[in-house]
């Protein structure tokens, strides 16, 4: 292997590593955003906190933004703590679950819940999405 080929190969490998690290940071931040939305909404849904339409709307929008930011942040080789290798072994299924979550988050925002019952109805599909994806693709730390 020539000197320039070796240098180019090292540069490409380094770029891929940095891209993977960046994707891991971005998906972690997106998941944190989704988690904050859940931390706000789940106590309301359980009846532990009062329903507030503005708070619910903001939390749903935060969840939707996090879901959008999550998409495409699992390129090949971007493994991380908590991410099951099954993500890359069953990429089409994983990606379809992410797209379903995005679609359900968008629908929840569009529903504009104005009371506890409508919030429960809007958020229930998202909880099911989270459970299904985490069961198949998350490693508990």
Q: Which residues pair with 83 in a beta bridge?
A: 138
Domain ranges of the chain: 21-137
Residue 9 has pLDDT above 60, yes or no: no
Question: pLDDT tens, 13-66?
Answer: 333 433 467 888 999 999 999 999 999 999 999 999 999 999 999 999 999 999
Give the Å distances, CA to CA, from 20 to 17, 78, 79.
Answer: 5, 5, 8
Predicted pLDDT at 2: 52
Predicted pLDDT at 20: 60
| pLDDT over 90 percentage in the chain | 65
Which of helix, strand or coil describes residue 138? strand
Annotation: binding site for heme c: 130, 133-134
Alpha-carbon gap, residue 62 to 64, rounded angstroms = 5
Q: Which CATH superfamily is domain 21-137 in?
A: Cytochrome c/b562 (1.20.120.10)
Residue 138 has pLDDT above 60, yes or no: yes
Over range 74-87, report the average pLDDT: 83
Predicted pLDDT at 14: 36
Over range 108-118, report the average pLDDT: 97
Annotation: binding site: 130, 133-134
Global confidence as pTM: 0.82
Question: pLDDT tens, 100-111?
Answer: 999 999 999 999
Cβ-based neighbours of 70, under 8 Å, separated by 6 or more: 27, 30, 31, 34, 98, 101, 102
Residue 4 has pLDDT above 80, yes or no: no
* Residue-averaged pLDDT of the chain: 86
DSSP 78-126: ---TTB-THHHHTHHHHHHHHHHHHHHHHHHHHH---SHHHHHHHHHHH
């Amino acid at each position: 292997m020539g000197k320039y080929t070796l240098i180019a190969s090292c540069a490409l490998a380094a770029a891929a590593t940095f891209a993977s690290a960046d994707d891991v940071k971005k998906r972690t931040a997106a998941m944190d955003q989704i988690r904050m939305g859940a931390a706000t909404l789940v106590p309301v849904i359980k009846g532990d906190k009062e329903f507030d339409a503005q708070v619910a709307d903001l939390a749903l929008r935060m969840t939707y933004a996090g879901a959008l930011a999550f998409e495409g942040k699992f390129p090949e080789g971007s493994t991380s703590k908590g991410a099951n290798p099954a993500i890359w072994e069953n990429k089409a299924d994983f990606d379809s679950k992410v797209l379903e979550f995005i679609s359900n988050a968008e629908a929840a925002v569009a529903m504009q819940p104005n009371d506890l019952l409508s919030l429960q109805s809007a958020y229930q599909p998202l909880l099911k999405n989270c459970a299904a994806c985490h069961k198949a693709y998350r490693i508990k730390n």
